[in-house]
Homo-oligomer: A and B are copies of this chain.
Amino acid sequence: MAGEKAHHERCEGHGHAHSPHSDVAAMIERARAFAAARKLPFTEMRARVLTVLAREEKPLTAYEITDRLSVSKKVQAVQVYRGLDFLQEAGCVHRLASKASYFACDHEHHPGEAVVFMVCSHCGTVQEAPSDLVAQGLQGAAEHAGFKPAHPIVELEGECARCSETKAA
């Protein structure tokens, strides 16, 4: 559960948001490893869904993914949802609750960590950053209420650096 600083250093080279991921192949590899560890197949469909998300700058809805995949070969939403389920378990994809959409992640996450999804209301990109303070705050609130915390969702709507600059110019 590294400190905020340490974690940020790990995230360098990642630049703005999770822009068209430099490294789609690496993400595929991570998913494949997860599948192997669980002795589950890393199927064509799973790879295709992840690839679409990894190439995209912004979160996509399940139906947007469906549409893109359908260009090459008709697929149905339920197939995409199945792929998304797997990829979320693998930690390769997150769901943005506030937008009911999905985006690829190339971070390693750790249990107990609290990750903030910063969503730009102007351009739609998402940038994620773990925060120990937030984790502590959640922990504290839970403790105070006798609540046993499991899975946090932390989303912050606002305006990303790039969009702020653009406007200023």
Contact = CB atoms under 8 A, between A and B. Distances in A.
Interface string A109-123: 000001010101100
A146 B131 contact: no
Nearest to A145: B127
Interface string A141-169: 11011111111111111111100100000
A71 interface: no
B127 A138 contact: no
A158 B148 contact: yes
B164 A142 contact: no
Q: DSSP majority for the A interface?
A: mixed
A98 interface: yes
Contact of A145 (B97, B98, B129, B152): B129
A132 interface: yes
The complex is assembled from copies of this chain, and their number is: 2
A141 B134 contact: yes
Give the interface size class of chain A: 35 or more
A92 B159 CA distance: 26
A64 interface: no
A4 interface: yes
A76 interface: no
Nearest to A162: B146
A148 B129 contact: no
- Give the one of A8, A137, A158 with max B CB within 10 A: A137
B150 A137 contact: no
Interface in A1-41: 4, 8
Interface of A: 4, 8, 97-98, 114, 116, 118, 120-121, 127, 129, 131-138, 140-142, 144-161, 164
